[in-house]
Chain A
Amino acid sequence: MKTMFSMKTMFSMKTMFTMKTMFTIKSLLKMAWMEAKLFLREPVGAFFTLVFPLMMLIIFGTIYGNQPAPQSGGQGAIDNLIPAFTAMIIGITGLMSITITMATYRENGVLRRLRTTPVSSQVVLAAQVIVVFAMTCLGMLLLVIAGKLVYHVRFEGNAFSVLVGFVLCSLSFFGIGFILAGIMPTARTAQIIAMVLLYPMLILSGAAWPRELMPATIQKVSAFVPLTYVVNLLRGLWTNEPWGDHLLDVGVLAGMLLLGIIVSAKTFRWE
């Protein structure tokens, strides 16, 4: 009798746990879907993530074409630009989208309202990560499709490797966004700081144009710019360089990711 009872209790506890998990996943998906709609309704953010990189690609493509050039290892300009512009999108979504959204939500009392419901902060943060990651993917996908259709880009890498590298780069940059949103006092300062960090980073890292074209002194400064490691890793994986050649990039990005998780968990505030 007694064993039966305890088995029954265990069973119901397990069902309860599964139900609760299922329920949390349902809330999370609902919230992610809502955030995705809100992301696309915000014209500035959607433009810089989805349209602007594409526009740049077409402008550069019109100027330089995609003829293979011996000085860039048989690659054309567009072949090089797709991974670089992907890095640009990661910089924009990580630094701008996450920082501005989270800081605004906190300042306007959106988080304060969520806090009066049973929803947990992990669900709120996870929904944000899912949506911004999905938008970053969409931005990259648009670049790849345009590159393939218009400029017949060459892809020599391993798609799986590129994807893994892309996930690592994205998440490590989202961490910076969450940290900034957590430590900045107001939404306005968060936005300004994000822009001040982003623009030089785009130029110095080689995300906006090839670093090889810059003077040697500036190239040295690049080593201190986090986005440089994203550009290096993505360009390398794109042209099928082995992971072994990019241990430094992976190390820096993994360190940033770890730091991002620890610091943003500590600095997260509902209001």
Chain B
Amino acid sequence: MDPIVMDAIVQVDGLRKVYGTTVAVDEVSFEVREGEIFGMVGPNGAGKTTTIECLEGLCTPDLGTIRVLGLDPQRDGQTLRECTGMQLQQSNLPERMRVWEALDLYASFYAKAADWNELLSQLGLEEKRNTPFSKLSGGQKQRLFIALALLPDPRLVFLDELTTGLDPQARHAIWDLVRDVRARGKTVLLTSHFMEEVEHLCDRVAILDHGRIVALDTPAALIHCLDAEERVIFSMTGGLSPSLEKALSKAGRLEVQGEQVTVHGKDGRKVPLVSEVVSQLAGQGVPFRDLRTEQPNLEDVFLSLTGREMRE
């Protein structure tokens, strides 16, 4: 047997789900390995939430087989919910429920619940202990949801669109928490519609579009496969001299916009593009400023795979 398949904690094969005339998910197959942070990313309506709901047994697939922790979510949904933690998009608590009450109540649903007082301090919610749910900020609500998802002391945690609607600072704080969760030996399956998020957070990423997986690999490999251009951008006064233009053209394609010059270089070169550009500039004594490089990212991968921008 393939050793990769053996330590798969989630196995999905040929999943298909249709709502009315809309195909929400089609021919989706992937595996999640024990101990990794696996991300599903794609625009709204790409099928991320439907997939995650099928994994937890909350919706019935039309086709395909699913194994989560070796169980069939349709048949053993109850058992599965006892040993996995789950944060679903658009799910809430009653407005007047206090933070400690939510943890205390949800802890009573699990035969072997983790100590919620400990979770409260680990997630930095101690001060908010007596705050009603409706008075929490977006980031605090998400932290409480992570705490609730960790209550069953699960091997596997599902986190659906955890950072949607949060400001960048709160988002980075949540990323640290997700890394902490993994550091405790738990496997994380998350969805997001931020390419940047999965690029920083996930070990492997499945890119979904219109219900299908269009790419699946580590973020680095996905970007590498793209064979995309690296860019060096700088500004200078006085315009390019013909000799500099000639020298830079050897490094890559040139684009000049006012005072700003962009050099597009191909990936996989011997000398890094940035050192070639800088050495030419320094060699000719050109005063330049604001020099920066731009690496291709998952956003570019999505664009090249689907032909459109990910963000609305």
Residue positions of A touching B, CB distance < 8 A:
23, 26-27, 30-31, 34, 37-38, 41-42, 105, 108-110, 112-113, 115-119
Interchain CB contact (< 8 A) of B93 among A23, A26, A30, A113: A113
Known: A26-B108, A30-B108, A34-B97. Is A113-B92 also a contact (CB below 8 A)? yes
| Cβ contacts under 8 Å, A23 to chain B | 111
Minimum Cβ distance to chain A for residue B179 (Å)? 22
CA distance A31 to B78 in the complex (A): 19
B56 at the interface (CB under 8 A from A): yes
CB-nearest residue of chain B to A35? B94
| Cβ contacts under 8 Å, A118 to chain B | 78, 81-82, 109-110
Interchain CB contact (< 8 A) of B96 among A26, A41, A119: A41
| Cβ contacts under 8 Å, B111 to chain A | 23
CB-nearest residue of chain A to B80? A118
- Of B4-12, B99-107, B290-298, the one contacting chain A is B99-107
B90 at the interface (CB under 8 A from A): yes
Q: Is the CB of A31 within 8 A of B108?
A: yes
CA distance A150 to B78 in the complex (A): 54
Interchain CB contact (< 8 A) of A116 among B56, B96, B105, B108: B56
| Cβ contacts under 8 Å, B95 to chain A | 108
Q: Is the CB of B58 within 8 A of A105?
A: no
| Cβ contacts under 8 Å, B101 to chain A | 34, 37
25 A-B pairs with CB atoms under 8 Å apart are A23-B111, A27-B109, A30-B105, A31-B105, A31-B108, A34-B97, A34-B101, A38-B96, A38-B97, A42-B96, A112-B90, A112-B91, A112-B92, A113-B93, A113-B148, A116-B58, A116-B81, A117-B81, A117-B109, A117-B110, A118-B81, A118-B82, A118-B109, A118-B110, A119-B109
B213 at the interface (CB under 8 A from A): no
- For chain B, which range describes its interface: under 10, 10 to 19, 20 to 34, or 35 or more residues? 20 to 34
Minimum Cβ distance to chain A for residue B85 (Å)? 8
Q: Is the CB of B88 within 8 A of A112?
A: yes
Q: Is the CB of B81 within 8 A of A108?
A: no
Q: Is the CB of B104 within 8 A of A30?
A: yes
Q: Is the CB of B58 within 8 A of A110?
A: no
| Cβ contacts under 8 Å, A30 to chain B | 104-105, 108
Given contacts A30-B108, A112-B88, A113-B148, 6 further A-B contacts (CB under 8 A): A38-B97, A42-B96, A105-B94, A109-B88, A113-B91, A116-B81
Q: Is the CB of A109 within 8 A of B78?
A: no
CA distance A112 to B94 in the complex (A): 12
CA distance A41 to B134 in the complex (A): 13
Known: A26-B108, A34-B101. Is A115-B94 also a contact (CB below 8 A)? no
CA distance A41 to B135 in the complex (A): 15
| Cβ contacts under 8 Å, A38 to chain B | 94, 96-97
Minimum Cβ distance to chain A for residue B88 (Å)? 6
Minimum Cβ distance to chain A for residue B90 (Å)? 5
CB proximity to A under 8 Å, residues B41-66: 56, 58
B205 at the interface (CB under 8 A from A): no
CB-nearest residue of chain B to A28? B108
Q: Is the CB of B97 within 8 A of A116?
A: no
B25 at the interface (CB under 8 A from A): no
B86 at the interface (CB under 8 A from A): yes
Minimum Cβ distance to chain B for residue A55 (Å)? 24
Q: Is the CB of A117 within 8 A of B106?
A: yes
CA distance A143 to B42 in the complex (A): 59
CA distance A110 to B92 in the complex (A): 5
CA distance A148 to B97 in the complex (A): 36
| Cβ contacts under 8 Å, B82 to chain A | 118
Most interface-central of A34, A109, A112, A113 (chain B CB within 10 A): A113
Most interface-central of A23, A30, A31 (chain B CB within 10 A): A30
Q: Is the CB of B92 within 8 A of A108?
A: yes
CA distance A119 to B106 in the complex (A): 9
| Cβ contacts under 8 Å, B94 to chain A | 38, 105, 108, 110
| Cβ contacts under 8 Å, A119 to chain B | 109
| Cβ contacts under 8 Å, A113 to chain B | 88, 91-93, 148
Q: Is the CB of B92 within 8 A of A116?
A: no
Known: A117-B81, A118-B81. Is A109-B91 also a contact (CB below 8 A)? yes
